[in-house]
Amino acid sequence: MHRTGMTELEAVLAVARRNSFRGAAQELGMSTTAVSSAVAGLEARLKVRLFNRSTRSVALTDAGLRYVERIAPALAAIKSAGEEAGSGPDVPSGTLRINAPQGAANLLLAPLFNVYAQRYPDVRIDIVSESRMIDVVAEGFDAGIRLAESVPQDMIAVPLSRDVRMLVVATPAYLEHHGTPRHPRDLLQHRSIGMRMSHGGIYQWELEHKGQKLQMDLPVRIALNEMPAIRQALLLGLGIGFISEWFIEDELKTGALVPVLAPWCPSFGGLRLYYSGHRFVPARLRALVSLVHELRLAEAQ
């Protein structure tokens, strides 16, 4: 395929990932006009509209969705083949593209990606944070980062962190004023800080003790979709919350936030770096995997 055609396909996939021509342009290092022209040129040759556009949003049409689902794996395979043929097998180069949940990049920036960036200055690191689960191969990522329970079974998974717990917490002042829950049913008398999920719904707290599992659908005072914002709302005393201990380690140490119902908050598998073992693994990703093993992050935290 000639370079113009490759550029058009890359532009379509970038716009689909970002839901934005401007975001796609930033990702590809192109102008917004060039990305728009590339997509329009492909649509003209295919004689089909791939995106619905408005002044506020960009979204794939049904035809566009089917097209992206078909071309994404093929383009990823073409790019991998080119990298394998055109570069030394042990020389990290190009762009390391990682898909991660919101907040994970912040947790791993200092202990992992900072070290990687210093060791491999010729590799560009591109981390896309989002809550939705995606097919990392189809969408052109080298690897993904997710909790162990969310990693697809056909992927190779490398531990990035220790096991973790979601904790029910509140400020001492909040608990003094509203009372300390002794059983999950007591939570029904409290206003919670809700976590908005990628599908739009509010996360129902999952509690478990001695084989008894509960899903708590609580009255929500304020709903947020980012852990740092939930932490701030908790510190302001706006309600009681359910939050990963990763995000409140300092507050737990100082007593700014107090855990309750601890026996109902068991630990579960932590973060994993995962990637497909069924395709060429570029040197830049092999270098990252080796660094994870070297740093032994899952043991050090």
Kindly report, residue by residue over 195-248, the tens digit of the pLDDT: 988 777 888 899 999 989 999 888 898 999 888 899 999 999 999 999 999 889
- Give mean pLDDT, residues 181-189: 94
Q: What is the pLDDT of residue 48?
A: 93
Which two tokens mark 237? 């005393």
* Domains of the chain (ranges, CATH numbers): 1-86 (1.10.10.10), 166-264 (3.40.190.10)
Residue 77: C-alpha distances to residues 95, 141, 142, 289 (Å): 15, 11, 11, 20
Question: Does residue 4 carry a pLDDT above 60?
Answer: no
**Cα 118 from Cα 78, distance rounded (Å):** 29
Backbone φ, ψ for residue 5 (5° rounding): -65, -40
Which two tokens mark 276? 């497909």
**Cα 197 from Cα 263, distance rounded (Å):** 25
The larger pLDDT score, comparing residue 70 to residue 265, is at 265
**Cα 232 from Cα 239, distance rounded (Å):** 11
The SS3 call for residue 256 is coil
* Chain length of the chain: 301
Helix axes 3-18, 21-28, angle to 10 degrees: 130
Kindly report, residue by residue over 251-270, the tens digit of the pLDDT: 999 999 999 999 999 988 89
Question: Does residue 104 carry a pLDDT above 90?
Answer: no
Q: What is the pLDDT of residue 37?
A: 93
Q: What is the pLDDT of residue 56?
A: 79
Question: Does residue 19 carry a pLDDT above 50?
Answer: yes
The larger pLDDT score, comparing residue 99 to residue 88, is at 99
Task: Count Cβ neighbours within 10 Å for each residue of 39-71 and write b for 16 or more, e otherwise.
Answer: beebbeeeeeebbeeeeeebebeeebeebbeeb
Most confident by average pLDDT, 20-29, 166-175, 208-217, 263-272: 166-175
User: Following DSSP, what letter does each residue of 144-197 receive, concatenated?
Assistant: EEEEGGGS-TTSEEEE-S--B-EEEEE-HHHHHHH---SSGGGGGGS-EEEEB-
Q: What is the pLDDT of residue 85?
A: 61
Question: Does residue 83 carry a pLDDT above 70?
Answer: no
**Cα 257 from Cα 43, distance rounded (Å):** 54
Q: Please state which of the ranges 71-85, 141-155, 244-258 shows the lowest mean pLDDT.
A: 71-85
Q: Please state which of the ranges 21-35, 71-85, 95-109, 278-292 shows the lowest mean pLDDT.
A: 71-85
Kindly report, residue by residue over 45-59, the tens digit of the pLDDT: 999 999 998 877 899
**Cα 66 from Cα 55, distance rounded (Å):** 24
**Cα 150 from Cα 101, distance rounded (Å):** 11
Q: What is the pLDDT of residue 112?
A: 94
Q: What is the pLDDT of residue 261?
A: 96
The pTM of this model reads 0.67
Q: What is the pLDDT of residue 162?
A: 87
**Cα 222 from Cα 226, distance rounded (Å):** 12
Pairing of strands 220-224, 192-195: parallel
CA torsion through residues 215, 219, 225, 231, sign:
negative
Question: Does residue 280 carry a pLDDT above 90?
Answer: no
